[in-house]
């Protein structure tokens, strides 16, 4: 019996991406899996149902989707949808457990094994599965375009009959995947770009893109996995003093700082915003995690004095076509670790061989990416987040009922 892989229609507000695209679905089907796409799942990514060729099937029955062996999604389904899934089935999606403890609880109660795409380890072997990086590429690119579109001035230097217009100054805070893409895009648009990251090791990458790397003396915060650790209070003061001096000269500031499994670090204070030039723009890519700026209001435009702050919480969704394409390929590459050929098929042509699901817990990618399994929260950071959420809820109830 072939493995059934289903893709539901995304239900998160404002989500335009889809977890599967036609060319990747066709590759899955060639593995003799039964691929099922919810009717209209790709419509917001401009992928009509008719774009999926046989043997990929389109279904308007949610029961068919929930009964699948594997469910692929961009965002974890709602708790009631998870409750309808088959016990022992597999969900592969973004979850962000620290923000959605109710979803983790639902996964455990339903007995669903969940692999969270944000937990994919940043190791060489898993680069092709790194959905955080693929989606950050889209976010950084779009952030630079959004900054350019929002400014009431040119980005590049222009020499005209009316005189020379100097290039706009763009400051990018955070030189991860999103930050580097924002730097590259702003530079291509002709801006004068500078960038800052607490990880000094990113200096070479920033300068290779033609940007100036800013340094806060005595602040260095490399951590495992290519991420940054949280700064001490003394380090934050040094960082903010240096950034405020540079933000006062910038026309556009793009913040991209994130700490996995935790709220976005607050880097830009109200005072720093007030130091910015009239008409300047701040694009906060940390909005989904609470924002890198104190004044950010996710998915709303904030005008503070003469400074405009934009906090889009789902930037990749604004590039749904290519963001979906990259994400679907990430999922396909990850599925290769779970789909193994059935035994006893030596005499069967490769194209006709069937596959089964098998989880090799000795594989470090699977072992680190798993969030829930057999009714338990396996990931340590998620367990801590669940405990904190329960403690906060209990405290709130006690406050309401003295």
Is the distance from CB of 157 to CB of 166 less than 8 angstroms? yes
Pairing of strands 90-94, 113-116: parallel
In this structure, how many other beta carbons lie within 10 angstroms of the beta carbon of residue 192? 21
Q: Is 275 a catalytic residue?
A: no
Residue in 2, 49, 64, 227 annotated catalytic:
227
Instruction: Catalytic residue, from 45, 93, 133, 368: name it.
Output: 133
For 9-69, the DSSP string reads PP-STT----S--HHHHHHHHTTT-EEEEETTTTGGGT--GGGS-TTSEEE--HHHHHT-S
Classified as helix, coil or strand, 348 is coil
Block residue for tokens 């799942």: 41
User: Active-site residue 2, yes or no?
Assistant: no
Asked if residue 163 lies in contact with residue 186, where contact means CB atoms within 8 angstroms, the answer is: no
Contact indicator for 17, 10 with CB cutoff of 8 Å: yes
Q: Which of 130, 197, 251, 284 is catalytic?
A: 130
Q: CA 305 to CA 236: how far, in whole Å?
A: 25
- Say which of 2, 57, 122, 220 is annotated catalytic: 122
146 in Cβ contact with 283 (< 8 Å): yes
DSSP state of 248: T
Q: How far is CA 241 from CA 237, 245, 286, 312, 365, in A?
A: 6, 6, 20, 26, 40
Annotated active-site residue in 43, 127, 270, 393: 127
- Asked if 332 is an active-site residue, the reply is no
Q: How many CA atoms lie within 13 A of 41 on its CB side?
A: 29
336 is catalytic: no
Rg (CA), the chain: 23
Q: Say whether 149 is catalytic.
A: no
Q: 196: closest CA among 228, 167, 225, 168?
A: 228
Helix, coil or strand: residue 7? strand
Q: Which residues are catalytic?
A: 122, 127, 130, 133, 227
């Amino acid at each position: 019996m072939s493995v059934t892989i289903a893709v539901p229609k995304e239900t998160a507000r404002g989500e335009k991406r889809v977890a599967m695209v036609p060319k990747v679905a066709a590759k899955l089907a060639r593995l003799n899996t039964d691929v099922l796409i919810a009717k209209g799942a790709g419509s917001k990514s401009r992928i009509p149902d008719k774009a999926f060729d046989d043997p990929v099937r389109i279904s308007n029955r949610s029961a068919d989707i929930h009964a699948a062996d594997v469910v692929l999604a961009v965002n974890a389904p709602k708790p009631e949808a998870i409750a309808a899934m088959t016990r022992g089935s597999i969900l592969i999606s973004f979850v962000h457990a620290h923000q959605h403890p109710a979803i983790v609880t639902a996964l455990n109660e339903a007995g669903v094994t969940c692999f969270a795409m944000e937990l994919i380890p940043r190791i060489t072997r898993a680069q092709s599965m790194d959905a955080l990086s693929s989606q950050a590429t889209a976010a950084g690119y779009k952030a630079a375009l959004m900054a350019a579109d929002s400014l009431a001035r040119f980005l590049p230097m222009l020499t005209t009959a009316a005189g020379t217009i100097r290039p706009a100054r763009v400051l990018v805070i955070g030189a991860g995947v999103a930050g580097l893409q924002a730097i590259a895009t702003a530079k291509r648009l002709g801006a004068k770009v500078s960038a800052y990251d607490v990880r000094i090791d990113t200096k070479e990458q920033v300068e290779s893109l033609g940007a100036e790397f800013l340094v806060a003396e005595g602040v260095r915060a490399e951590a495992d996995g290519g991420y940054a650790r949280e700064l001490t209070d003394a380090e934050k003061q040094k960082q903010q003093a240096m950034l405020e001096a540079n933000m006062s000269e910038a026309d556009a500031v793009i913040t991209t700082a994130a700490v996995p499994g935790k709220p976005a670090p607050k880097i830009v204070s109200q005072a720093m915003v007030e130091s910015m030039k009239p008409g300047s723009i701040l694009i906060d890519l940390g909005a989904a995690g609470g924002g890198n700026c104190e004044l950010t209001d996710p998915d709303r435009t904030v005008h503070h004095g003469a400074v405009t702050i934009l906090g889009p919480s789902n930037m990749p969704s604004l590039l749904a076509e290519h963001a979906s394409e990259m994400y679907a390929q990430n999922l396909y590459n990850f599925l290769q670790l779970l789909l193994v050929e059935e035994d006893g098929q030596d005499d069967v042509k490769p194209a006709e061989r069937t596959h089964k699901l098998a989880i090799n817990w000795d594989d470090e990618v699977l072992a680190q990416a798993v969030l829930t399994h057999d009714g338990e929260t396996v990931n340590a950071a998620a367990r801590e987040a669940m405990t904190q959420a329960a403690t906060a809820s209990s405290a709130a109830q006690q406050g309401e009922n003295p």
